A = this chain, B = another copy of it.
Amino acid sequence: MTDRKEFRDLASPAEAHEVVASLDLAPEPERVPLDECRGRVLAERVDADIDVPGFDRASMDGYAVRARDTFGADESDPVVLPRTGVVHAGEEPTIDVEAGECVEISTGAVMPDGADAVVPVERTHEADDGIAFEAAVAPGDSVMAAGADVAAGERALGPGTELTPREIGLLSALGVAEVPVRGTPTVGVVSTGDELVRPGEALDHRAGEIHDVNSYTIAAAVEEAGGEAVLYPHAGDDYDELARQLRTAADECDLVLSSGSTSASAVDVVYRVIEERGDLLFHGVAIKPGKPMLVGRLGGSAYVGLPGYPVSALTIFRTFVAPAIREAAGRREPERATVTGRLATGERYGQGRTRLMPVGLVTDGTGETLVYHVDKGSGATTSLVEADGVVEMDADTDYLAADEAVTVELFSPDVRPPAALCVGEDDPLFARALDAARNPRYLAEGTRSGFRRLRDGLPDVVVASGPGEPDEATEEIAAWTREWGLIVPEGNPAGVTDLADLATGDRSIVNRTTASGLRASFDAALEKSGVDPQDIRGYERTVRAHESPARAVARGDADVGLGLRASAATLGLGFVSLGTERVRVLVNPDRREKAGVETLAAALDGVAGLADDLPGYEAQ
């Protein structure tokens, strides 16, 4: 086994870039049909092989003449010439234009011999003895000479040109049916990790199975960068099979990617195959989240091992690998898309290496950008869509203060801040209202979190339920009530009727976290009824999301769940009502005019409609 101690020193980000750039990923150029070349890059210069147009072409509908025959003509004293024939586009002229004559001609038609100009039909009228010309023309007027557009032998498009509809138009004109383009680098994506299961297949949660996220994410990112992704079947826990797939991928692809397995044995397989076939170039970059990055050569192919967590894998891919794929495909680096903003809250970090901190954006009432750390814990996949880009924190910086100006590198130039940033109570009716808005973002962290974030000045909208009130002034743009209570198995087999039934200790409950407004309503009801929470079995077993207690009941994992009548109905469970609570949509007054807030407010005007088939909901 290769001695990993060689790589105890992490590569600097600059060294990592250099090593990855030195891997030659460029495949052979190829020729593709004209109608499939969009987005590809010319491998070589294309010179014109023919004149365009290939003949002297009329560029107006009118009459082909010898220009000198029109000299002196004007509206008051037109020159009349007999019309001796007609030429349409796409036909060979059967008649010449002799001195003192004219021939009718269509746009695009071949100029008949003898003629040297076209008089547009608008400058003529029919006369008794021919066509009356109301204006003189010069030789060449309204005629495009053969080769005037592009002439045989001229350079038409240079190597490295990206082929958009415009270049495709020029290639068509030149008659180029097969286009010489840069090859598409083939990138094999090998999935490692015993715990991974393909989406669409069922998971065994007890065995710690999870869906394979990185393979699909990275494959899509490979294609976005201009590569062709090849997904290899998951090798599971068979390490010989994994070794075989790495070898096959190295034979078939220009680059092989895998994303970090947590299992040491998988890493050993990678080391073994690299040792057998190539070189290990470095292991680990001094960047968070890049420490586990591994780069090497596998025979004729290159190999990059990405970190295992999805946000880390994609960040490292974007930072180090995508530029190499674009370079190989001949694609331009996209305009580096950055925005500057100020940090909503202070951020501490001090591990002596550069950090790429995932952040979200929100536009404040004055159009300025606020930047907040998206910190859902290592391995959260929702961070993929809840972050808009990264802020690079220097190795030397261990604290960024609130309001500090930062530069955000966006995940792509298309990324825009959400139209409305909403935080607060998870609620099915509000989720429906979100569907009407374009590009909203909802952080369903609970009512208390909504209030806390409002103190930081972050959200546009807070969704609140239960007894709490925000410290800040807000404007209520919509409100409704929802019926809540105890969710029990269908038919309520244990015969739960009220809160007192929970205090006997023979039914286990699943509760909500204290951030939830519904939990606050529950606690208030307990207090009112005099039931001691300590007597409720499972009172400390809390979950974040509104439907989770009901789901625990549905799968037989608890006797009772705190939840909504609507959730019980959705899941076909029994329900013991304990009351209703008001859900309020509160807007940060500075943000009331934001277009996304307006859209949301308009959607919530129809709150009665949105509540329509949600049992226990009532518009207010």
Q: Which residues of A contact B (CB under 8 A)?
A: 34-35, 38, 45, 47, 50-55, 57, 59-61, 88-92, 106-110, 144-162, 164-178, 193-196, 198-201, 203-221, 223-224, 231, 237, 261-263, 308, 310, 314, 332, 335, 376-382, 384-385, 411-414, 426, 431, 434-435, 437-440, 442, 444, 543-548, 550-551, 567, 570
A389 to chain B, nearest CB (A): 11
The complex places the Cα of A373 from the Cα of B44 at a distance, in Å, of: 29
Subset of 23 A-B contacts with CB under 8 Å:
A35-B231, A38-B224, A55-B208, A59-B377, A59-B379, A90-B195, A90-B209, A90-B263, A144-B378, A144-B380, A145-B544, A147-B543, A149-B380, A150-B381, A153-B545, A160-B438, A166-B217, A167-B385, A168-B220, A169-B213, A173-B210, A173-B213, A177-B199
Q: Which of A89, A166, A167, A219 has the most CB of B within 10 A?
A: A166
Contact A207 B91 (CB under 8 A): yes
Contact B262 A206 (CB under 8 A): no
Contact B213 A158 (CB under 8 A): no
Contact A381 B170 (CB under 8 A): yes
The complex places the Cα of A570 from the Cα of B215 at a distance, in Å, of: 51
Kindly list chain B residues whose C-beta atoms are within 8 Å of the C-beta of A177.
Answer: 198-200
Kindly list chain B residues whose C-beta atoms are within 8 Å of the C-beta of A438.
Answer: 160
A-side interface mostly: loop
The complex places the Cα of A209 from the Cα of B88 at a distance, in Å, of: 11
Contact B50 A203 (CB under 8 A): yes
Contact B151 A217 (CB under 8 A): no
Kindly list chain B residues whose C-beta atoms are within 8 Å of the C-beta of A198.
Answer: 177
Select which of B53, B175, B439, B544 is within 8 A of A148 by beta carbon: B544
Contact B206 A92 (CB under 8 A): yes
Residue in B closest to A314 when the chains form the complex, CB atoms:
B165
The complex places the Cα of A432 from the Cα of B237 at a distance, in Å, of: 55
Contact B208 A89 (CB under 8 A): yes
The complex places the Cα of A173 from the Cα of B45 at a distance, in Å, of: 45
Contact B548 A153 (CB under 8 A): yes
Kindly list chain B residues whose C-beta atoms are within 8 Å of the C-beta of A426.
Answer: 154
Contact A195 B108 (CB under 8 A): yes
Contact A150 B382 (CB under 8 A): yes
Contact B205 A169 (CB under 8 A): no
A154-B426, A208-B57, A209-B54 known; A173 vs B381 contact (CB < 8 Å): yes
Kindly list chain B residues whose C-beta atoms are within 8 Å of the C-beta of A412.
Answer: 164
The complex places the Cα of A171 from the Cα of B160 at a distance, in Å, of: 35
